[in-house]
Amino acid sequence: MKKVIMIKYGEIYLKGNNRSFFESMLLKNIKYALFGLKADAKRVRTRYFVENYDEDMEDEIVERLQKVFGIHSFSKAVEIDTTRDNIVDFCSAIRLQNCTFKVETNRADKTFELSSMQTNCLIGEVILNNNPTVKVDVHNPDITIFIDIRENKKTYIFYQNIMGAGGMPVGSSADGLVLLSGGIDSPVACHQIAKRGMHLTGLHFASYPYTSEQAKEKVVKLAQIIKPYTHMKKLFVVSFTEIQENIHKYCKDEYMITLMRRFMMRIAERLANHVGAKAIVTGENLGQVASQTVESITSSNSVLEVMPVFRPLIAMDKEEIVSIAKKIGTFETSILPYEDCCTVFLPKYPLIKPNLKKVLEEESKLDVERLIENALNKIEEIKI
């Protein structure tokens, strides 16, 4: 008998011929999550097992597995060699008191001598005989004892399913470049898009000396907090000061944010091409602020050639975003009061519905190409 953690995947089941690609990616990610811990991970057909770990590390392993996208659920289980006697022996030692229970058998090994139903009945009897204060309740039991009889002649017995993060394994989709600010939204956007398998690289715009070193450190910290989800290895920091100063000097005040967003997108697209990312990701949310109206989004999208922009939060309420931020542990850091480049030079009345023709007119007062080149020449790369 040995203690293991048995892991089940979710949507990967729906994959056809390419399922093994996703299965291998998930194993790789489980091993990545367990990095530095003494524990082995392996796949046996559609199940994954973490084994050979110290018992006092179990909570840490559970916590880490809950951040691995692609995992539907997992259970702390015991593994025994599949024989009728072994299953009965193990279940004879189960002690329950004053509760209702049921037994739920999954017989993947069709050569096992009893059907699932027969196993349920047999083990139900065994438990009733050894525990005089319990009753069977097949509809709404206090405890369910799961018996999973696998094809590899091993049986796994457990009573609890811990829900995983769902989604698809990170790395199974193309890479993305995320515009990461120090706010509440963009780290949540990272989490949401990584859930669909996208591995992320970060891009942050700073405006030294208007924004501080601490403001940047805050973004680095956020990137580190979400790393178990996103696998982000690099955060690029671009100085936005010259661009903002030029807009401030040459363009009408109310165009500040609109023009800034167009610069952000252009720089993001170029950097994305450079690092091999195939999409840009932002934490924009429809109608949240002036720069996030349909007209503003049209204005910033229109600078892009072909690259798609994913905005996973577009239709979410702030309350939903905040609740995810709390769950993934970014909220407390996000609300630290450091200024963002978007708050520097903030006009009193930003354009809510910019007219693209007029935006282009304003923008024509700037040497766009030179400003972008200058910004990209001074790019800083931070290892996360």
Q: Centre a 10 Å sphere on the Cβ of residue 3 and count the other Cβ atoms it contains.
A: 14
Question: Contact between 169 and ligand ATP (CB under 6 A)?
Answer: no
Binding-site partner at residue 362 among Mg ion, ligand ATP, none, CB < 5 to 8 Å by type: none
Measured CA to CA, the distance from residue 125 to residue 354 in angstroms comes to 73
Answer whether 375's CB lies under 8 Å from 267's CB: yes
37 exposure class (CB count in 10 Å sphere: 0-12, 13-18, 19+): middle
Q: Compose the 316-355 pattern: x for residues touching Mg ion by CB under 5 A, - for all others.
A: ------------------------x---------------
Q: Which residue in the shown chain puts its C-beta closest to ligand ATP?
A: 183
Answer whether 68's CB lies under 8 Å from 230's CB: no
Binds Mg ion (CB under 5 A): choice among 181, 239, 296, 330: 181
Question: Contact between 340 and ligand ATP (CB under 6 A)?
Answer: yes
Question: Contact between 375 and ligand ATP (CB under 6 A)?
Answer: no
Maximum alpha-carbon separation in the chain: 86
Binding-site partner at residue 87 among Mg ion, ligand ATP, none, CB < 5 to 8 Å by type: none
Alpha helices in the chain (DSSP H): 19-33, 58-65, 84-92, 116-130, 185-194, 213-225, 227-230, 241-250, 256-275, 294-301, 318-328, 331-334, 356-363, 368-377
- Name the token pair of 167: 């989604």
**Alpha carbon 384 to chain centroid, angstroms:** 16
Binding-site partner at residue 50 among Mg ion, ligand ATP, none, CB < 5 to 8 Å by type: none
Binding-site partner at residue 283 among ligand ATP, Mg ion, none, CB < 5 to 8 Å by type: ligand ATP
Q: Which residues contact 320 (CB under 8 A, 6 or more apart)?
A: none
Question: Which residues, numbered 294-333, are part of the site for ligand ATP (CB under 6 A)?
Answer: none
Question: Contact between 360 and ligand ATP (CB under 6 A)?
Answer: no
Q: Compose the 268-297 pattern: x for residues touching ligand ATP by CB under 6 A, - for all others.
A: --------------xxx---xx-xx-----
Question: Which residues, numbered 194-253, are part of the site for ligand ATP (CB under 6 A)?
Answer: 203-205
Binds Mg ion (CB under 5 A): choice among 164, 171, 176, 183: 183
Question: Contact between 187 and Mg ion (CB under 5 A)?
Answer: no
Handedness of CA 143, 75, 36, 233 (dihedral sign): negative
Q: Which is nearer to ligand ATP, 33 or 222 (CB)?
A: 222
Binds ligand ATP (CB under 6 A): choice among 167, 183, 350, 354: 183
Q: Which is nearer to ligand ATP, 164 or 176 (CB)?
A: 176
Measured CA to CA, the distance from residue 247 to residue 362 in angstroms comes to 9
Closest-CA residue to 71 (of 29, 115, 34): 29
Strands (E), 82-207: 100-107, 135-136, 143-149, 154-158, 162-163, 176-179, 200-206
| CB 188 to Mg ion: min, Å | 12
| CB 185 to ligand ATP: min, Å | 3
Question: Contact between 179 and ligand ATP (CB under 6 A)?
Answer: yes
Binding-site partner at residue 291 among ligand ATP, Mg ion, none, CB < 5 to 8 Å by type: ligand ATP
Q: Which is nearer to Mg ion, 77 or 325 (CB)?
A: 325
Q: Assign 188 to helix, strand or coil.
A: helix
Burial per residue of 332-365, b for 16 or more beta-carbon CB atoms within 10 angstroms, e otherwise: ebbeeeeebbbebbeeeebbeebeeeebeebbee
Binds ligand ATP (CB under 6 A): choice among 75, 181, 201, 241: 181
Q: Which is nearer to ligand ATP, 42 or 196 (CB)?
A: 196
Binding site for Mg ion (CB under 5 A): 181, 183, 340
